[in-house]
Structure 1
Amino acid sequence: MEYVPLQTRQKAAEIAGKRMDVVTFGFADTILILISEDSRLGKMYYVPLTAAPGGNLQAYDYGDEADDDFSLLPLSHLTPVSVLGGGSNEVEGKMYAVQIASMISRQNADERRRVVVGMGIARSSSDDIALGPDARRRFLDILTLVGQCSVW
């Protein structure tokens, strides 16, 4: 068995007035991403990057333009599964998990490791899930922070 060194990256930033920490681990079979606001962690999601056997995995070329509107759409074959926690903002957590897995797949089309996303992000208001302007900015800032911690 070949030894594969563990890759790690960590980054912190202030997002929407709160400290946000992202730590990523690149294991041989798993990419673990921990996103924590104010040193909390409450939910975990699993997203396989490969389609289920018999599933339809079609790659679609969305183009190379950085401003392309399609680049923000999650890939259709990715399905996040809650493995720890749950509750009122389950949709928001799954949205982050599938978007992060989509980003990984787009940045490295050969990536086949499973993705596990741990989150401890508080919703600042009841309209966050609707992605108003402030929530959308926070969502994109968090995705950017995760992208800066690439181990894929």
Structure 2
Amino acid sequence: MDKHDDTIFPIINKQAARTIQGRHTEVLVSSFADKILILISQYGKAGSLIHTAIDQQSIAANTMSPTDLATTTSSFLLGSGSSSSKKTQLYRVYASHISQMINHQNPEESRPVVLSLALSIQEPDVDQNIDKKQEQDQRKQDRDLFENVIELVNECCVW
């Protein structure tokens, strides 16, 4: 029979939800012995799956000041789409920011993050000319979504 470390059981789960931009948004965070799993969805299902980790070499070199952001490495495991799509680029920002936030809040935390994102992010219509105001409004919506999602993730802190 396999032995297990009782200090890592039971698995810690936290969740939070709120309406963001008229969409029900849920966050579930699970703390496993070797990973942190974060599910973020506005569709009630898993979306793109991203594995992200802090670059331990930059931390080990001890060249970082407390205000520096750690370097992250992210890779899509599922649902990457086009690397030039707005959604893919924003998902990379979410993954990097969440890993850096965890590292900043707990510098001893070294577990990688597996992040599932299923968010309503509007892709620009390449056939339609949008004016500056529409572009600014869209950026404001993207920023508002980002800030609200990050707040929800912080409410589910397991690190």
Q: Which runs of 4+ in 1 moved over 4 A?
A: none
Q: Are residues 101 and 122 of structure 1, via their aligned partners in 2, closer, same or farther at CA, if it must alter by over 3 Å?
A: same
Find out whether 1:39 has 2:39 as its counterpart: no
Report the TM-score, using the length of structure 2 for normalisation. Answer: 0.78
CA distances 1:95-146 after superposition (whole Å, capped 9, x unpaired): 1011110110011010011111101112135288x97122111111100111
Higher relative contact order (CA 8 A, sep 6+): 1
Q: Relative to total residues, which structure has the larger helix share, 1 or 2?
A: 2
Matched residue type, 1:142? V
1:2 paired residue number: 5
For the 8 Å contact 1:7–1:151, the answer to whether it is kept is: yes
Matched residue type, 1:12? A
Find out whether 1:149 has 2:156 as its counterpart: yes
CA distance, structure 2, for counterparts of residue 84 and residue 52 of structure 1 = 26
**SS of structure 1 residue aligned to 2:143:** helix
Query: Paired residues, what number?
Result: 140
**SS of structure 2 residue aligned to 1:151:** coil
Shift of 1:58: 3.4
Shift of 1:51: 2.3
Question: C-alpha root-mean-square deviation of aligned residues, in Å?
Answer: 2.5
Q: Are residues 94 and 131 of structure 1, via their aligned partners in 2, closer, same or farther at CA, if it must alter by over 3 Å?
A: farther
1:111 paired residue number: 109
Matched residue type, 2:77? V
Q: Are residues 58 and 46 of structure 1, via their aligned partners in 2, closer, same or farther at CA, if it must alter by over 3 Å?
A: farther
Residue 140 (structure 2) aligned to one of 121, 133, 144: 133
Q: Are residues 18 and 57 of structure 1, via their aligned partners in 2, closer, same or farther at CA, if it must alter by over 3 Å?
A: farther
**SS of structure 2 residue aligned to 1:9:** strand
CA distances 1:24-44 after superposition (whole Å, capped 9, x unpaired): 000011000000002132201
CA distance, structure 2, for counterparts of residue 34 and residue 116 of structure 1 = 8
Shift of 1:59: 2.2
Structure 2: which 5+ residue stretches go unaligned? 125-133
Residue 77 (structure 2) aligned to one of 80, 83, 87: 83
CA distance, structure 2, for counterparts of residue 124 and residue 50 of structure 1 = 31
Structure 1: which 5+ residue stretches go unaligned? 63-69
Find out whether 1:122 has 2:137 as its counterpart: no
Q: Mapping of 1:53-92 within 5 angstroms?
A: 58-62=63-67, 75-87=69-81, 88=85, 89-92=87-90
